A = this chain, B = another copy of it.
Amino acid sequence: MRRKVTLKQIARELDVSISTVSKALRHSKEISEDTREKVQAFAKLYHYRPNNIALSLKNRKTKTIGIIIPEIVHHFFSKVIRGIELVANKRGYNVIVGLSNEAFDKEVINMEMLANGSIDGFILSISKQTLLQQDYHHFNETINQGMPIVMFDRVVNEINCDKVIVDDLNGSKRAVEKLLSNGCKNIAIITTKDYVSVGRLRTQGYLEALEEHKIYSKSSLILKIDVELDSEDHLDDLEKEIEQFFKNNRNIDGIFAVNELYAITAMKVARKFGNQIPDDIQVIGFTDGVLSKHATPSLTTVSQHAQDMGEKAADLLINRLELDIDQEEGEEEEEEHYQTVIIETELIERDSTKAL
């Protein structure tokens, strides 16, 4: 077992100085062709590779991006990661992942852990608990320490940073309009409680679409699901709640659900109540997931282009990181103008809505 070789070992072996080896390997023409070749041959033989950690310490940058997401077993988030990783790798960065598991504490701890030199910047989506508590000090502290953050999807206005969001409002608006133009008269929405920003926006889109079509929204047609019901353990409860909702609203002929799980469950319940989809009830979800594609009937959805979001977020972050380098000395940092990139949604029509 030969451990990793270092410059020092090569230097000792070849009886030259460390800096000579360093220069020779970096093809500096300060060094004679003779020694250069000798050193390079030796380095190749022993598979010399510079130690990343030492480079990070020296350069004061790690070429690593920290990702903090609430959950990884989730099509949307894993697609975002894929997008981030793609761009990051292409631009010479690695990706380190921390999971908040939707909990405030784990989010804070994870961020502190990574912020102490392990990474150059964050890409993150806020946990539900954090959104609920509205405690964002850890984000601000991180930014104040000069570590850039890019938020995606679950963002918050209070924080000054680059953001990548889905056009939730217009996405849902168009979905609801689709239902309307497909002839639905009683469109229900199954959404989250309002503190989840994306849920709130999607609800708003729903309301605006109705309003613009001069339809009065009825609060009875709006079901706001509580967070806990999302977890695997509470699938049954979710189903029951939606069942109750159906019982209270016998005349529903269209459903807009703000995520895949709600949509699928709604379809299931609708069928249980003897409805045909899309003949009796048409359903549209909001997501990128696999479920939608393979459900029966396959689900018409508002696609979020998750991978695009990841790619965009990575580009934003790396751009800022490399920009910071150039103006390193500028000290008084000319007022930094943060961007909010909006990723357009796309309505993917499948079999849960009528083909006109």
Given contacts A73-B75, A145-B4, A264-B294, whether A97 and B113 have CB atoms under 8 Å apart is no
Name A70-101 residues within 8 Å CB distance of B: 72-75, 78-79, 81-82, 85, 89, 94-99
User: Is the CB–CB distance between B64 and A72 below 8 Å?
Assistant: no
Q: Given the complex, which residues of B lie within 8 Å of A112, measured CB to CB?
A: 49
Given contacts A78-B78, A141-B47, A294-B295, whether A94 and B72 have CB atoms under 8 Å apart is no
Given contacts A1-B333, A290-B290, A291-B294, whether A116 and B51 have CB atoms under 8 Å apart is yes
User: Is the CB–CB distance between A81 and B75 below 8 Å?
Assistant: no
A-side interface residues, number (CB < 8 Å):
52
Question: Which listed residue, B52, B290, B296, touches A116 by the CB 8 Å rule?
Answer: B52
A264, B290: Cα distance in complex, Å:
11
Q: Given the complex, which residues of B lie within 8 Å of A4, measured CB to CB?
A: 116-117, 145-146
CB distance from A66 to the nearest CB of B (A): 9
User: Is the CB–CB distance between B97 and A81 below 8 Å?
Assistant: yes
* Most chain B beta-carbon neighbours within 10 Å: one of A49, A290, A295: A290
* Most chain B beta-carbon neighbours within 10 Å: one of A53, A94, A145: A53
A325 interfacial by beta-carbon distance below 8 Å = no
Q: How many subunits of this chain does the assembly comprise?
A: 2
A295, B75: Cα distance in complex, Å:
16
A98, B115: Cα distance in complex, Å:
20
Q: Given the complex, which residues of B lie within 8 Å of A96, measured CB to CB?
A: 64, 94-97
Q: Given the complex, which residues of B lie within 8 Å of A115, measured CB to CB?
A: 49
A54, B294: Cα distance in complex, Å:
49
Question: Which listed residue, B144, B264, B268, B294, touches A2 by the CB 8 Å rule?
Answer: B144
A62 interfacial by beta-carbon distance below 8 Å = yes
A22 interfacial by beta-carbon distance below 8 Å = no
User: Is the CB–CB distance between B57 and A82 below 8 Å?
Assistant: no
A3 interfacial by beta-carbon distance below 8 Å = yes
What would be 18 A-B contacts, judged by CB atoms less than 8 Å apart? A1-B333, A51-B57, A51-B116, A52-B118, A53-B56, A53-B57, A53-B62, A57-B57, A72-B72, A72-B82, A74-B78, A94-B98, A96-B97, A289-B290, A290-B291, A291-B294, A294-B295, A295-B295
Closest 6 CB pairs between A and B?
A51-B117, A53-B117, A52-B117, A296-B296, A96-B96, A49-B116
